[in-house]
Amino acid sequence: MNRRDCMKAMGATMVAAALPSSMPFWPALAQSKYPDRPIRVIVPYAPGGVVDVMARHWGERMKSVLGSVVIENQGGGGGTLGASNVARATPDGYTLLFGDTSSQIITPSLMASPPYDPVTSFAAISIIATSTPGIVVHPSVPVKDLAEFIKYAQANADKLSYGSAGPGTVGNLAGELFKQTIKAPGITHIPYRGAGPAFADLLAGTTPFATPNVTGQVLESHRAGKVRLLAVCGPTRLKAAPDIPAAVESLPGMVVQLSAGVFAPAGTPQPIVLQISNATAEAVKDPAFIRALEAAGLETRQDASAAAAQAFLETERKRLVPVIQAAGMKAL
């Protein structure tokens, strides 16, 4: 060993001896604390929608535990553009996806060659909250409740149409499940470019029936008599509207919800996944966070763990993909 190598070896020995015996050796010295720079969260839709609202509430809540969280909207392809960009990102925890039922289940199942595999391209971190579509009619439709509307729709299927936020959306899926469940395939789907135009035409009576997510605007319009919200498509009544029946009360199986949460590129280190998941689990117990989401018509999920997110997605895929295939739904 020459003099230079000998000096290097002696230096390394001295550093090692100075470290506490419990401290991991060289690999740990090379690692930095996560996160040590801003976390970029991609919302694969335009600003202002339900998923964007969820993401921004979550991002604001995470700043106190994860530092800077930057929300970036990358709309296009029914959620697949932004999702595919995250799937290809470096799996280091600094690029995340705020995905939902459409980006992780519906839209990829409609495509012959989706740009990512929703099962293998991502690590599920947390499913945070849900938004529930409703069965909403214009006041000109001569019904007072869902039972009456089912009979009306069955008798007038070839004349009836429903509006949704667009092809491949949760509202589209809710409308198709309704048609399948009441055996009225003749009802026509009218797709719009977003929830706003669809609801505007419902308010105007251009479309007699729509399946929008139940937001504050929908509830206000219902209470003002501008539309009639007959039922919500969740498994139970909404906390924000306990007077509105769940569709399953008279139509078993009529459950469709938009569930959204955080995903990382596959291969992201498990400690990072668990760190974000644990932080989110604390957030969904925070009364202020719960109230903020409920004010937007959203409901938090009490189990925000990574394991629960993965199990939930697997169950939803098995339940919803056959509905999508039977309906012959088309991609955007």
pLDDT tens sequence across 263-274: 999 999 999 999
- CATH number of domain containing 242: 3.40.190.10
237 belongs to a structural domain: yes
Same domain, 271 and 220: no
H-type helices in 67-104, by residue range? 80-87, 101
Please indicate, yes or no, whether residues 111 and 154 belong to a single structural domain of this protein. Answer: no
42 or 24, greater pLDDT: 42
Tell me which of 249, 280, 314 is where a domain ends: 249
Please state which of the ranges 18-22, 248-252, 304-308, 326-330 shows the lowest mean pLDDT. Answer: 18-22
Identify the pLDDT of residue 332. 57
Domain final residue, candidates 231, 249, 267: 249
What domain count does the chain have?
2
| Same domain membership, residue 271 and residue 124 | yes
pTM above 0.95, yes or no: no
* Confidence class for position 216, pLDDT limits 50, 70, 90: confident
Mapped onto helix, strand or coil, the DSSP state of residue 322 is: helix
**Does 154 lie in the same domain as 66?**
no
Please report the pLDDT score of residue 4 as a whole number.
46
276-301 average pLDDT score: 91
**Model confidence over 96-132: pLDDT tens digits?**
999 999 999 999 998 989 999 999 999 999 999 999 9
Secondary structure (3-state) at 159: helix
- Whether residue 141 sits in one domain with residue 127: no
Greater model confidence, 295 or 42: 42
Percent pLDDT > 90 in the chain is 74
Q: How high is the pLDDT of residue 167?
A: 86
What tokens does 226 get? 């501008």
User: Per-residue pLDDT averaged across 309-321, rounded?
Assistant: 93
Instruction: Give a yes or no: residue 287 inside a domain.
Output: yes
Kindly state the percentage of the chain with pLDDT values over 70: 90
The closest alpha carbon to 316, from 37, 75, 130, 70, belongs to 130
Same-domain pairing of 198 and 57:
no
Is residue 284 within 8 A of residue 301, CB to CB? The reply is: yes
Check residue 76 and give its pLDDT.
Answer: 86
Q: Which residue has the higher pLDDT, 174 or 196?
A: 174
Mean per-residue pLDDT for 226-252?
Answer: 95
Q: Which residue has the higher pLDDT, 49 or 84?
A: 84
> Is the pLDDT confidence value at 83 over 80?
yes
**280 and 237 together in one domain:** no
Domain finish residue from 202, 218, 249: 249
Q: Which domain holds residue 201?
A: 134-249
Note whether 106 and 49 are same-domain residues: yes
Same domain assignment for residues 265 and 118: yes
Q: In what order do the strands lie in the sheet with 228-232?
A: 188-191, 161-164, 209-210, 134-137, 228-232
Assess if residue 11 is contained within a domain.
no
**171 and 120 in a common domain:** no
- Is residue 9 situated within a structural domain? no
Position 18 scores a pLDDT of 43
Nearest Cα neighbor of 117 from 256, 263, 255 is: 263
Average pLDDT, the chain: 89
Q: Tell whether the model's pLDDT for residue 330 goes beyond 80.
A: no
157 and 205 both lie in a single domain: yes
CATH code (residue 59): 3.40.190.150
**26 belongs to a structural domain:** no
Together in a domain, 52 and 126: yes
Q: Grade residue 139 by pLDDT with cuts at 50, 70 and 90.
A: very high
* Mean pLDDT along residues 129-152: 97
Instruction: Please indicate, yes or no, if residue 161 is contained in any of the structural domains.
Output: yes
Residue 5 included in any domain = no
Say if 18 falls within a structural domain. no
H helix runs in the chain, sequence order:
3-18, 26-30, 50-66, 80-87, 101, 107-110, 146-155, 170-182, 195-204, 216-223, 270-283, 287-295, 306-327
Q: What is the reported pLDDT for 297?
A: 81
- The region of weakest confidence among 19-33, 83-97, 126-140, 273-287 is 19-33
